Copies of this chain bind each other. A is one copy, B any other.
């Protein structure tokens, strides 16, 4: 690669940011890390970091995911011997407003990861702590408003009320203000997840390798924030070809009658789709 010639084009820093979603205790949660340095020192932020010289975008995202969670995502572009434990990783959108980082011009390629319920996260990189935060706590109740349809940049502070000097703000009642434009990125990621579980089998990425129909239903209920009819859900999900395959055993970990265990089937697209109830 020829040396960098600053007269030919303006130099940018390129980062990847991660929206890692999981379902914990019936709530949709995302991984946030506490910033150890300015700007936004002490505030919660999405995990992320610089893309390296010789790395592609999905590789950088997968590397950050491992560093933050230990998860190995399935990356179709990676060479075969990559142990995937089923986590899903896809590109979400790119954010590049000129003033989004006061230090320099940064373009961030956000990625969306879906993970089963994990043990406590391990902190890493420039963060001095990390946790799973309910998205409702970070975005408020009205996450459905911004449909993330139009061009996904330059919307300003967005949904989370950015209340001034509250560095390190937490447990103050209102939503916690994320650093940078991360509230918008998170909202876009949540909206993507809510849409995709309608017409794809991605909801299984929130489940352990073997799971019951009831556990899968509770994933849909947590992500969409609605209650679903267990009887119709069961019929629909077991009747959709390729969605679920019986794993053989049963479990009684939820109480009540033992439930059959399933694994995710080969299908990725659901036809007909799961229908999200009206608001």
Contact = CB atoms under 8 A, between A and B. Distances in A.
Interface of A: 1-2, 4, 6, 8-14, 50-59, 61, 75-77, 89-91, 93-98, 103-105, 107, 109, 111, 147, 149-155, 200, 268-269
Contact of A57 (B55, B107, B111): B107
Given A10-B52, A11-B12, 11 more contacts: A10-B50, A54-B98, A57-B95, A58-B153, A58-B154, A59-B154, A89-B151, A91-B153, A94-B109, A96-B109, A147-B268
Tell me if A's interface is mostly helix, strand, loop or mixed. loop
Contacts of A105: 1, 53
A104 B55 CA distance: 13
Contact of A91 (B4, B57, B152, B268): B152
A55 to B, nearest CB: 7
Copies of this chain present = 2
A152 B149 CA distance: 19
A77 B12 contact: no
Contacts of A153: 56-58, 77, 91
A126 to B, nearest CB: 13
Contact of A51 (B4, B12, B58, B91): B12
Contact of A90 (B9, B13, B75, B150): B150
Contact of A93 (B1, B2, B91): B91
B13 A12 contact: yes
User: Which of A91, A103, A147, A152 is packed against the most chain B CB atoms within 10 Å?
Assistant: A91
A5 to B, nearest CB: 8
A139 to B, nearest CB: 20
User: Which of A2, A12, A54 is packed against the most chain B CB atoms within 10 Å?
Assistant: A12
Nearest to A13: B9
A4 to B, nearest CB: 5
